[in-house]
Amino acid sequence: MAQWRRREDVHNGAVRLAVFESPLPGTSPSGDDPRPTVLLVHGWPDTHHLWTHVAPMLAGDFRVIAYDCRGFGDSDRPDGDDPYRLSEMADDLFAVIDAVSPDNAVHVLAHDWGSVLTWEAVGRRGADKCIASFVSVSGPSLDQLGVWARARLRRPTPRNLARAMAQTGSSAYTVFFQIPVAPGLFFRVTGSQTIWREFLHRAEGMPRPNAVFRPTLREDMISGLRLYRANIRPKLAAPDPRHTSVPVLEIVNERDIALRPAIFDDTHLYAERLWRRTSPTGHWLPLTRPDYLADVTREFIRARAGIESDGRDSVDRSRILGSPGPMAGKLAVVTGAGSGIGRETAYALAEQGCELILADIDLDAADETVRECKRFGVTATAYLLDVADTAGFVAFAAQVRERHGVADIVINNAGIALAGSALAATDEQVDKLLAVDLRGVITGSREFGRQMVERGVGGHIVNVSSAAAFTPSRDLGLYSAAKAGVLMFSESLRGELTEHRIGVTAICPGIVDTNIVRSTRIAGVDAETEAAQRDRLDKLYRKRGFTPDRVAADIVKAINANKAVAPVTAEAKVGYRVYRFAPWISRLGARRKVAR
């Protein structure tokens, strides 16, 4: 934990601001420190102690400064509401910057109201001369928010109204905060360290030891209410959003109890250079996942400061150009990406703005998919991978992490097919089928799942099963067994990973026109008969006309909706329900021959 060193106080007019530094252990107060300066700005009801866990993680690379905003901690608490207008708070920020780094621009990491006031600051002319970059956590520009709300209400579509109402519900507490007297009395009763620590634990899942004790909490809660009274109604009533040329990294927490992700949809209209990281995390990210916040902040600032990176390019993939989608900036891994469902899924994820890692046993085919994905303006990299080679798959997952970072989305798609009699199949055919279709899925899920759990900010794993998993057939017994294993493994893994905010989806296509049909082996028949039966199956699938791009679209929908099982085609949806509610019908159907 940071051992804060008190610096000389900074004055903005009559207001005194307490400034602190988080030095490297064993160092003296900073003099001519050549490292870039990072200024940490807190929100309500916090002080500089909010950054106690983050600061030491940044101090190895940067000179880390924090201060108590006016009305909080050891800084002055002027009377009345007017001194807490955002214009005054932004003046404080510039005063601190001028005092701690008069010759070089600083990088700002801000949370909650600290981020709100920094948006006010970066919108000023010439702000880029003293603010080199801005990492915004759980704090929108109130002017941008006001315009966003008005635009949704002017076009009252069901989607716009739902988003506006959702944010209104999340912000309902701010109405109470602006009532005279009552909120102050409330926090005089409830503003204890014990109650606040328990609230953060229950609302955010924050480990109780992460709560930093400070004697001014109750006073900070009450004094900080003036931020709400001084700013929310005036800003939302007459918003005046301004553009900024300061590079901005916007960290969007999908589980933020106060701010819905949708309110950040229009940030790109005001920030000329915008990056975004989205994760299933909560409002108090500096306390719940300080390591994650420090990592993404360090990477962003190093890139902006021109410091040599560790070889990863996750900052580049987080760049927002145009209206961002829910998957913008995420890293996605797709196996079997050289053709069929894998290739079309890669295209669909590229359209969503993901960086892509595309693996296939045919490297040339994967390279072709990469070239097409780059047309969407995303980064894509091809890798040679045989998913049946467990050791090779493990090495591949480690390589992805080392070169690109931890994957946010993993699509275990690679697969082969085997038809014909289960009794006639050779041991080699059975072993290969299970190694690719089942063990490959298990390996991919385990390796990338471990990485997601260790990182601690969620993710999503998609395992491509089949309608054969719940549609027994005498001609597809072995294939059905492998795909049923994928389905049950996925549902079980979903239960295991739910507590880590990692979704797992089993995708179950039916009859889809892909190359897998043309390469299907048919056990127990000679080569001529196999070719003839395969040709008939291929014509059947072509006649069905269900193309792999439609499966890819359902995969994207399933990820966004965090679905457990997603039957895709009409026959898959019917078969899934028949097997669940009238399995005897499925058993009768299993007697019918398909491959003739």
- Distance, in Å, from the CA atom of 559 to the CA atom of 141, rounded to the nearest integer, reads 29
- Distance, in Å, from the CA atom of 462 to the CA atom of 411, rounded to the nearest integer, reads 5
- What single string gives the DSSP state of each residue in 535-587? HHHHHHHHHH---HHHHHHHHHHHHHHT-SEEE-SHHHHHHHHHHHH-HHHHH
Which residue, among 119, 164, 162, has the nearest Cα to 138 in the 3D structure? 119
Which residue, among 403, 488, 496, has the nearest Cα to 453 in the 3D structure? 496
- What single string gives the DSSP state of each residue in 390-456? HHHHHHHHHHHHHHH---SEEEE-----EEE-TTTS-HHHHHHHHIIIIIHHHHHHHHHHHHHHHHT
Q: Tokens 């006649």, residue?
A: 543
Asked if 247 and 304 touch (Cβ cutoff 8 Å), the reply is yes
Known catalytic residue at 479? yes
- Distance, in Å, from the CA atom of 462 to the CA atom of 506, rounded to the nearest integer, reads 6
Q: Could you give the angle at which helices 440-455 and 390-404 cross, rounded to 10 degrees?
A: 30
Catalytic residue among 383, 479, 576, 579: 479
Give residue 458's identity as a one-letter amino acid code. G
CA 420 to each of CA 116, 416, 424, 519, 596: distance values in angstroms, whole numbers, following the listed order: 64, 14, 8, 14, 9
Q: Tokens 């055919």, residue?
A: 429
Q: Which residues are catalytic?
A: 479
